Structure 1
């Protein structure tokens, strides 16, 4: 009996030990001396990757700027090296810290003036817009916007050429002209939601008669701050609205009745009528400044020998660029304007780049998972005054 009692005692002691281990083991796993690995913090501010678009950005002192280099015929020069470039800020040469060749798709807004002043040029404008669509590659996207007394989106950005042609052909002539409102709409209500390289190809005579949301000055300021190029294609419609064969008033010869027939637009010389020579000169200045401030070019549809060739050059210029970056020797201060000059050590070249910036703080953006290593990360954005840099 004593042996049986000892055996039972041993069994009880073993069972107690097992239960004790089972209670202690979980506490060891979660003890204060063994903390679980912490998850990556989502509160850390991440820099924004250098986009290969037409944006000038900054990370403390790193400035990046897109540059187009062409020959005298407007063709892109593809074989330049870092050593071929010189960058000057406020007249002081800077050391190039970042260099890359960039070729990527773009998004373009074809903005068509369908006001009454272009009624006799509407077919030309539509043909020209379709000619630009024919320059597309599969990854390029185009949207179509028309404006007269209203601003209309005829087609959202797409690469479908058939859809784009149908949208262009749906454009119909209307009444007054809201040119400034149309430019404002594309820059501030469409392009602000689109990433990558962007441009506006603007088919118009440049005259505005009834914009309500924007003005000459406000749209130039927006263009100066935007990351989009603006290529105006100007049509001279002055004779169509004020001269022969459509003068302001002319006598009727129907049945010999001598009463005058009023023209289908207001008398010239009035405020905002869109029929005076002064308004057309103002329109030319406006389109010229739009192109200059964004680093693009203005074309005259009546004197350009081949718009098809011009559109091919625009598409190539948008698609293929160089990206240069440097650290200013004197870091900029808030609100300070700095001048930039880009030169290329090669004869007979034309350099197009933004030529100044105003430093201003901007909110940091979240870093994306598909950032490519080796490119600078930027945390601030420049507001830039973009003008083409003259050829050396």
Structure 2
């Protein structure tokens, strides 16, 4: 089946992106095909290939694929020992692609009729799993026309275009390329998230969310979308490359369509903690104590205020089947957060199982809140990320504008959302300024082993931790109610103490790219400043 084959292709693509990060000298400025040769090959396409089977070519293609696969397996078996083989594999891949160019000139396009299915799969493997981007770009017209004739599947074209663009320093069109870093899978930056599924559909690919879930289940690792930075084009990229790709693909692609222009001012709400993650008492910090870095560049603080102000807190509670044994803990913990809130603090409650339910809108009525929490009675699935989106769409974006806000997400992290992925949830958090406090309910009594369920539980906790860190929040773990002692008061007091800092970025480009942020207390190194980790420069 094609889907199985596609999963295998994606596994190799991720592996290559992980390993081959060492640049090497190319074999030379060799061309693959001239324009005349390209047109001659395209003209030779026939709906029914009448050529005889080419057993010798089939054998050669399979041997090329196997040679690459064995070398890659050797490298991955011991990265430290076999690191010097990475450039060798790189060069071998380019050498094989040049041989494919020669085969096309001499024999035309191999098909399943001439080299059988395994030979044809080997042919596409050599083309797709390669970093010789200039050669790949020359093959695009032939492969695209072959797809129109039904000789090659469209997803191969999409994968090839993305591979070329990522290697040349451009955002990808279809979202087929990913890499692994520190046990997280990152989808390379996308050209346009709003249109990516439309473009994928035109090239017979499933929605990006389906691909992300497959990667999550296959590798048992969190999957995120990389932030789109300002363009850093490779030296291999040439003027007009992107326009050529757009013309070949037949898609209306505007490289700048995601760019918007808004205010220059960047506002940060900063939490201050000690090294042991406690809220320090008697803080007396001024503007001169703080340092803001954007992409590593020191910024000038334009305004600075310290205020004790009320806030909005949304409790998002997991009542799915997997937390059945923790229902008492969830209700008691939620009621304790209500108890410790100050009179002017507003709290809302969202509960989810199969249904996502707004238990209470933002209110200061503690008695009503406590009773509504006690009355929650839900059963079923666990749409965690759908529930987080519901919270932002229906509460934070509507009712908390201009107010300090936070979310306490209380769950075991075992998600089965229908609409969005963890990667989508992370983008929602990145585009907002609410702080996430994740309370991980440990329902895995045996601890982490090597089994599938253990890996799933570990991935769930890591996902919750990443959301909290991205927003400047914190992860808490709880098996019982005593594990949360002191947390309620700490979170409430922490949210009430606001250090509000603003600056105008020295980088004046509003290119829609992601900017990394860090805040430091330069006069008191024993203190940690926590805030959102970056923003999109729209």
Instruction: Give TM-score, length-normalised by structure 1.
Output: 0.65
Structure with max Cα Rg? 1
Structure 2 stretches of 5 or more lacking a match? 1-260
Partner of 1:170: 375
Partner of 2:270: 67
Q: Do residues 343 (structure 1) and 536 (structure 2) align?
A: no
Q: How does 1:82-93 map to 2 (within 5 A)?
A: 82-93=287-298
CA pair 156-304 structure 1, distance change in 2 beyond 3 A: closer
* Cα distance in 1 for residues equivalent to 2:359 and 2:482: 29
CA pair 306-281 structure 1, distance change in 2 beyond 3 A: closer
Q: Do residues 198 (structure 1) and 405 (structure 2) align?
A: yes
Q: Do residues 278 (structure 1) and 482 (structure 2) align?
A: no
Q: 1:279: how far off?
A: 2.2
Q: How does 1:1-392 map to 2 (within 5 A)?
A: 60-73=263-276, 74-76=278-280, 78-194=283-399, 195=401, 196-209=403-416, 211-239=417-445, 276-302=453-479, 306-344=483-521, 345-360=523-538
CA pair 327-227 structure 1, distance change in 2 beyond 3 A: closer
* Cα distance in 1 for residues equivalent to 2:472 and 2:435: 6
User: Of Structure 1 and Structure 2, which has the larger fraction of its residues in strand?
Assistant: 1
Superposition RMSD on alpha carbons, in Å? Answer: 2.5
Q: Is the 8 A contact 2:414 2:457 kept in 1?
A: yes
* Cα distance in 1 for residues equivalent to 2:337 and 2:537: 35
Q: 1:208: how far off?
A: 1.1
Instruction: Give TM-score, length-normalised by structure 2.
Output: 0.48
Which structure carries more relative contact order (alpha carbon 8 Å, separation 6+)?
1
Deviation by residue 1:314-336 (Cα, 9 ceiling, x = unmatched): 11221111111223233132212
Partner of 1:55: none
CA pair 71-238 structure 1, distance change in 2 beyond 3 A: closer
Q: 1:305: how far off?
A: 6.2
Q: 1:287: how far off?
A: 0.6
* Cα distance in 1 for residues equivalent to 2:415 and 2:504: 42
Number of residue pairs aligned between Structure 1 and Structure 2: 272
CA pair 292-179 structure 1, distance change in 2 beyond 3 A: same
